[in-house]
Structure 1
């Protein structure tokens, strides 16, 4: 199975660093919307594709713009929500990385499915500050679920730290922030 991790387009929270990290529920900028549109040519979707999306506005908007007019399966999951990389236990979750509620997602992105088999605790806090050992269990469980879909390729629209965390877990290589993908940058990993 091939996983294609795609970082969301430029968000409002990255325009005026570090102050902009304190914006709550940031959307895509105009540039971010153009970046999301460019995914249509780079990764054309079909109705047979599965796209897994982090429950934040900027990732949901990226997936929505990219998949517009394509009746593919779009699943929102907190298992690909923002994740600090590297983990720093004393840090707190920034307002720009707080998850949207399932209800808000259903109201705004009503053609997306909610991964409803997960405990509510993940919908409240996501995986941002999850200890490495717990993240390994989550990643293993999630990759097993991905394989169980029977799909040869799954797209995941997520965040730089999350993508790098999964990359490190799957490959076993020691990575750093230098390995972060850029806006709408992507990474293919065979599992």
Structure 2
């Protein structure tokens, strides 16, 4: 199975740093919207494809613009929510990385569905500041769920730290912030 991890387009949280990091649920910028639309050319989808999406506005907007007009499955899951990388002790989740409330997701993005596999605690807290052991357990659960789908490839719209954490877990290689994907950059990993 190939996992194709895609970083979301440019978000409003990247402008006017560090103050912009304190904005809750920042949207894509105009540039980010254009980046997301261009994914249609570089990563064309079919109706058989599945796209897992982090429950933040910028990732869901990226997926919505990329999948527009394509009736593939779009599943929002906290298994690909923001992840601090590297994990720093005594840090907390910034407002820009707080997940959207579950009850608002389907109202705002009605063509999406919610993943019913994650534990409720993961929906409430995500794993931004979870220990490496906790992240590894959740990530392995997600990968096992993906394997059960019996697809040749699965797409995942997520965040730089999350993508790098999964890449490190799957490859067994030590990665750093220098390995972060740029906006709408993608990595294909065989798992």
Q: TM-score range by the shorter chain?
A: over 0.9
Asked whether 1:83 is paired with 2:83, we answer yes
The alpha carbon displacement at 1:166 in A equals 0.2
Question: For residue 9 of structure 2, what is the aligned residue in structure 1?
Answer: 9
The alpha carbon displacement at 1:20 in A equals 0.9
Question: For residue 30 of structure 2, what is the aligned residue in structure 1?
Answer: 30
| Aligned residue runs from structure 1 range 113-132, under 5 A | 113-132=113-132
The alpha carbon displacement at 1:19 in A equals 1.6
Q: Which moved more, 1:126-135 or 1:51-60?
A: 126-135
- TM-score w.r.t. the length of structure 2 is 0.98
Q: What count of residue pairs does the alignment treat as equivalent?
A: 191
Alignment partners' CA distance in 1, 2:59 and 2:170: 22
Alignment deviations for residues 122-159 of structure 1 (CA, whole Å, 9 cap, x no partner): 11111101110111111111111101101100000000
Question: For residue 21 of structure 2, what is the aligned residue in structure 1?
Answer: 21
Alignment partners' CA distance in 2, 1:100 and 1:4: 23
Alignment partners' CA distance in 2, 1:175 and 1:117: 28
| Aligned residue runs from structure 1 range 89-168, under 5 A | 89-168=89-168
Alignment deviations for residues 49-83 of structure 1 (CA, whole Å, 9 cap, x no partner): 00000000000000000000100000000010000
Where do 5+ consecutive residues of structure 2 fail to align?
none
Name the SS for the 2:144 alignment partner.
helix
The alpha carbon displacement at 1:101 in A equals 1.1
Where do 5+ consecutive residues of structure 1 fail to align?
none
8 Å Cα contact 2:79/2:118 also seen in 1: no
The alpha carbon displacement at 1:89 in A equals 2.1
- TM-score w.r.t. the length of structure 1 is 0.98
Alignment partners' CA distance in 1, 2:16 and 2:178: 20
